[in-house]
Structures are given as C-alpha cells and as structure tokens.
C-alpha cells in the first residue's frame, strides 16, 4: 500500500528528521536517568532536559521553572484541572469551573469527572463561527469560580478564541485561566505574560516531536499558581509530576519546539497559502461546500468543510489515498457526529458531510492539487 497524502496534521504530525537526529543519542549512548546526578551519564541527561525546558519556556515567554514535562497534553490537562481542584489553596473560593462545550475531550471528560466529585461546571456555548461570547464568559464568572478553561485553537475547526481578551477578563474577575494550546503551540504566537495565561497544556506530537511527551506550564508569580500533584512517587519535576523522565522524548520536544519557534512566520505563510489554495480549488470543483468555523479567527493549516448531500464516512471509505479526518480523530472511533460542529448549530446533514483537512510542514503544492482531484472525482462519482 502506498502511503497516502497526509492531510491530517491536527491528529498527529510526523517526527521532523532533524528532531529524530537530536533524540537518537539519548536512547543508547546517553541513556542516563536525569535524576541520577551523582555520575556523568545522569548529569548529561539532566542537562539535556534543562535545555529542552528552556526551549519550551522560550516558545511561550515563560520561565523554565514554570515548565513541567508530562506524557502528553491529555495528562497535562488532567494535572491542571485536577491539580487546581485538589489544591487547598483555592478551597475557600468555591467549587466552580467555567469551560466551553467545544473543548477537547481531555478537558470535557475531566470536567465531567470533577462534576461527579461535587464541582459545578458551566459549559459556555459558541456561536456559528465557533467563538465564545466574552459577555457570556464575564457573566458566567462568579465569586465561586476558581478556574476558567478555554482552549486557544480548536482541533476540529482551527477556530482561535480571543485568548488575550479572555485572559484579561479572568484576571479582572479573579479567576485562573487554563488554556489547552495543543493545536496553536508552534503555529501561533503564545505569550503567557501578554495573554495572562496561568496554566497551559501542549503536546510534542502535534508539532513534529515524538508522541508521549507534553508540557504543563504553571505560572510562578503574579499570581503564584498552586497546583497539586496527581502522580506521586519520587518528587520529580519539583514534586508536581513524579516518574523517571522520558529523556529522549523531552529532548525531542525541545528540538521540535525550537524548530517551530525559529520558522513560525515563514511556515505559517507557506501553509496558509497551501490551505487557501486547497479551499479555493475544492470550492471551484465541488458544489455545495460550506466552511465550518470562522475564516478570520482560524489556524493557517486547518480547513473544515461540509459537503452537501455527502456522508463523509462513505466518502472516506472511497478515498484511501488521502488521509483526512471526518471529525475528531479521537472521537471518530465512536462514529458519532461531531459535538463541536453540533455546538456551532450545524445540521445533521452538515455534520454527516464534514471533512477536516489539516496541512503541515511536509505538505506540497502537488499534494494539494492531487487531493483536490481525488476528492472532486469521488464526490461526483458518489453523486
């Protein structure tokens, strides 16, 4: 089987070969445990981890001491939400969290779990463009609100929430802001100071790094955020996340982040041009296409469309030479219509006919042209 044209970068990205080269020595020669600082192998590993911590911190304008390595964004989200919920420091405030109904399942499922533990959760709606209303957010924050959890960019639609304004609002009303930046990190500017973000999650495998590594950022000053550990055993990562560090993975995340940071604006321009080309070509070759989500506040790499009268599952069974997603890769196993598009008021037909194209570093003009042809042919055959 030939490898398909890969237009599913929001699900995961291939490792950048340069990242792989950086990781390689840490599997065999430099195999030390970063906690074994009493010999050179351990020190070497610890130094490599500290370099990666600096690299990650630099991407989001944080201090390296605010960066905690985890097994991925899902764990970082769990640590942020449960860690704040468990913290005695905020217990007097109340037990209320505000989030959005289009968040990733990592956030929504964790919130549901907290609800069963007695927390009250407000799920903000979104408009047809996938954006929240700041007035509604403001009205939802009460004296009892400890935390607001709003993602930066949505994985299904690429819609970017006005995180800077959200940060300001949370600060004014005394609530902490957690943001899942898994889709925006490395693609969009993130500045935890300018955006008033208190906690943030990201993942290496969405930015050309390895799977199984992520980061939680926890603000140290103005205010100092108190997050409790949820995994105990040895006190690694300043006691917030115990367990032997995944040194090769962390080294890879650092290298991946650095490449994204250094090439961000060029890469964004190139990918936006390809995405816009794909969008134009699909429009001109297939009738009855609508875009899901804001076209103004949107990641440069993402295009989510509904094709009139099409069932995307049927369409994708037909098209084996292009890898795209019919809804969120994480939920399409259940074959349920996308709750994200549902929250945006899309009809059942529009949800059934939705396809997410997500482009990336290795996408070419030829692939975009070929993918358009393949889709146009398949749609006209099915019609």
Ligand X SMILES: *Cc1c(COP(=O)(O)O)cnc(C)c1O
- Write out the catalytic residue numbers: 330
Interface with ligand X, residue 368, by CB under 6 A: no
Among 80, 148, 151, 344, which residue interacts with ligand X (rule: CB under 6 A)?
A: 151
Site for ligand X in 218-247 (CB under 6 A): none
Interface with ligand X, residue 74, by CB under 6 A: yes
Q: How many residues bind ligand X, per CB under 6 A?
A: 13
Interface with ligand X, residue 155, by CB under 6 A: yes
Residue number, 161 or 363, with CB nearest to ligand X = 161
With b meaning 16 or more CB within 10 Å and e meaning fewer, what string describes 366-375? Answer: ebbeebbebb
* Residue closest to ligand X, measured at CB: 72
Interface with ligand X, residue 367, by CB under 6 A: no
Interface with ligand X, residue 180, by CB under 6 A: yes
Q: Which stretch binds ligand X (CB under 6 A): 72-80, 131-139, 190-198, 276-284?
A: 72-80
Residue number, 76 or 170, with CB nearest to ligand X = 76
Among 83, 158, 214, 360, which residue interacts with ligand X (rule: CB under 6 A)?
A: 214
Residue number, 214 or 293, with CB nearest to ligand X = 214
Contact characters 75-104, ligand X, x per CB under 6 A: -----------------------------x
Among 13, 99, 145, 203, which residue interacts with ligand X (rule: CB under 6 A)?
A: 203
Query: In the bound complex, what is the minimum distance in angstroms from residue 347's beta carbon to ligand X?
Result: 25
Site for ligand X in 258-277 (CB under 6 A): none
Interface with ligand X, residue 156, by CB under 6 A: no
The pair phi, psi for residue 180, each rounded to 5°, is -80, 105
Among 55, 78, 102, 183, which residue interacts with ligand X (rule: CB under 6 A)?
A: 183
Interface with ligand X, residue 338, by CB under 6 A: no
Q: Which residues bind ligand X (CB under 6 A)?
A: 72-74, 104, 106, 151, 155, 180, 182-183, 203, 206, 214
């Amino acid at each position: 089987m030939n490898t398909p044209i890969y237009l599913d970068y929001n699900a995961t990205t291939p490792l950048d070969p340069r990242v792989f080269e950086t990781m390689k020595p840490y599997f065999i020669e430099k195999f030390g445990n970063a906690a074994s600082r009493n010999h050179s192998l351990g020190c070497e590993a610890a130094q490599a981890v500290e370099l990666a911590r600096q690299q990650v911190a630099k991407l989001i304008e944080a201090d390296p001491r605010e960066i905690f390595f985890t097994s991925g964004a899902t764990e970082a989200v769990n640590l942020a939400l449960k860690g704040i919920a468990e913290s005695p420091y905020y217990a007097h405030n109340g037990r209320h969290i505000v989030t959005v109904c289009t968040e990733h399942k990592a956030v929504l499922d964790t919130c549901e779990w907290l609800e069963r533990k007695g927390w009250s959760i407000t799920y903000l709606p979104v408009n047809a463009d996938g954006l929240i209303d700041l007035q509604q957010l403001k009205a939802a924050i009460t004296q009892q609100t400890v935390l607001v959890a709003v993602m930066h960019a949505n994985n299904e639609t690429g819609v970017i929430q006005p995180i800077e304004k959200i940060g300001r609002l949370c600060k004014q009303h005394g609530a902490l802001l957690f943001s899942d930046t898994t889709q925006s990190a490395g693609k969009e500017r993130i500045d935890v100071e300018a955006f008033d973000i208190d906690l943030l999650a990201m993942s290496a495998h969405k930015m050309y790094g390895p799977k199984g590594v992520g980061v939680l950022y926890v603000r140290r000053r103005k205010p100092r955020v108190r997050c409790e550990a949820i995994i105990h055993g040895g006190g690694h990562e300043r006691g917030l996340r115990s367990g032997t560090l995944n040194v090769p993975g962390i080294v890879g995340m650092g290298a991946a982040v650095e490449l994204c940071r250094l090439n961000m604006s060029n890469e964004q321009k190139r990918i936006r041009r390809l995405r816009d080309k794909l969008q134009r070509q699909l429009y001109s070759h297939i009738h009855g296409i609508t875009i899901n989500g804001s076209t103004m506040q949107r990641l440069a790499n993402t295009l989510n469309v509904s094709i009139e009268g099409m069932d995307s599952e049927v369409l994708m069974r037909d098209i084996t030479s292009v890898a795209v997603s019919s809804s969120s890769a994480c939920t399409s196993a259940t074959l349920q219509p996308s709750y994200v598009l549902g929250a945006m008021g899309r009809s059942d037909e529009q949800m059934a006919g939705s396809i997410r194209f997500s482009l990336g570093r290795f996408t070419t003009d030829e692939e975009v042209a070929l993918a358009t042809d393949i889709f146009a042919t398949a749609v006209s055959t099915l019609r």
